[in-house]
Amino acid sequence: MVSSLLVLLQFQTPFIITLTLFIIFHQIQTSDASPQTLLILPLKVQTHPHGSVSIPIPSSRKLSFQHNVTLTVSLTVGSPPQSVTMVLDTGSELSWLHCKKLPNLNSVFNPQLSSSYNPTPCTSPVCKTRTRDFPIPVSCDPKNLCHATVSYADATSIEGNLATETFFVAGSPQPGTTFGCMDSGFTSNADEDSKTTGLMGMNRGSLSFVAQMGLPKFSYCISGSDSSGVLLFGDAKFAWLGPLRYTPMVKESTPLPYFDRVAYTVRLQGIRVGKKLLQLEKSIFVPDHTGSGQTMVDSGTQFTFLLGPVYKALREEFVAQTKGVLTLLDDPNFVFQGAMDLCYRVGSNRKSLPLPPLPAVTLVFEGAEMSVSGERLLYKVGDVAAAKGSEDTVYCFTFGNSELVGIEAYVIGHHHQQNVWMEFDLVNSRVGFADTRCELASQRLGMGS
């Protein structure tokens, strides 16, 4: 039985946030009669200049845009334990660590110092496991060890040997955990790589960290700017949270070229702007015979991306309903992060004021809805040169066109999950969510001031 773990998160955009966790033990009263011991892991916040990080995304997903928030988990690995820092990524399967000192790279795991490190031979069944993370098939190296290459959308890659090792999560040993001991290549940003040791894959694949730990579920709650949040591993219920709305995960047994079978896939059935439902054919939300058009809930992606025809309909309706309320940025060449082409100019006289009332955008899933409103609809890009010398601030619509980043899918990003309690129930194969104030959730769990 794996203990439930709570992780305190803190976000501050317009900076890249690196979050490092330390262990404190608490007893939390859940909805059960007896208190349940949970592990609260407060996180240390480090800020980096905006735009300096590009999260590695498997090339099969074809996402190459940058993210301004990364979550890193600090734990120990090996015998004796070595400290490592891993990027938490629900969109990836294979966890990996840098195992060789590279130029400008100081954060590494040294397998030669660990008595519990075991490289995986080519004859191992794990070496024959097919995953979306390996567009290049695994192979045997000259030592007959299982060699893997993970490629990313920006044409970078990282490679090394599969191995098993003991990972200590909140002090609890997880022996025999499969991971990649990578000794060559880079992810996307050498400067940021120097601050982290690797990546922790958290999707539904058999090699993911959550699958290997045998966790029944995990949850998180992301606050808005300059606020804290929580990440919880394990099964815990809180009376103050109230009922969650659930939507089933989609399972696809047939291998399809553009369908990620281990992603957190749900059924998107429609979109409303204000009270108006977009007039779209229901078939446009259903994956086609190639798997193109699945809907993935991904905390590793910042914004939400929609297939071209759906994005166009949403864009037109949002512009129509905000006419006279927002001023369009008159610069057809300005596209934020390569996919956000609906941007607005906000006058300097409003910089200290909240945005005007905006129509909510509601994502309609099977059995549940997620409403995006207020500040989550627009993202402050800054005083961009597109403002042509004025002191205006540019805000962009937080929905993008997936075709502009070369992805054949709908992706629900973490920006639209702010102040939503998100639960990934792996046993019952469903995603649950409930609107809440995440800073208050942190306080209720003894982590807020």
pLDDT of residue 384: 53
Higher pLDDT, 7 or 102: 102
User: Is 298 known to be catalytic?
Assistant: yes
Report the range out of 64-68, 262-266, 387-391 with the highest average pLDDT.
Answer: 262-266
Q: In this structure, is the dihedral angle defined by the CA atoms of residues 153, 159, 164 and 165, taken in order, positive or negative?
A: negative
Cα→Cα distances 444→331, 417, 447, Å: 46, 20, 7
User: Is 141 known to be catalytic?
Assistant: no
Give the pLDDT band (50/70/90) at residue 240. Answer: confident
d(CA 216, CA 175): 19
pTM over 0.95: no
Catalytic residue among 133, 193, 298, 425: 298
Catalytic residue among 89, 133, 235, 392: 89
**Least confident stretch, 66-70, 99-103, 305-309:** 66-70
pLDDT of residue 258: 87
Is beta strand 96-98 parallel, antiparallel or unpaired with respect to 172-185? parallel
Give the model confidence (pLDDT) of 179-197 as tens digits.
Answer: 999 987 754 454 555 567 8
Give the model confidence (pLDDT) of 358-395 as tens digits.
Answer: 999 999 999 999 999 998 999 988 755 544 556 778 89
Higher pLDDT, 195 or 63: 195
Q: How is the beta sheet containing 24-28 ordered, strand by strand? A: 24-28, 36-41, 5-11, 227-233, 217-221, 420-425, 430-435, 245-248
Cα-flanking dihedrals φ and ψ of residue 312, to 5°? -60, -45
Domains, the chain: 51-215 (2.40.70.10), 239-444 (2.40.70.10)
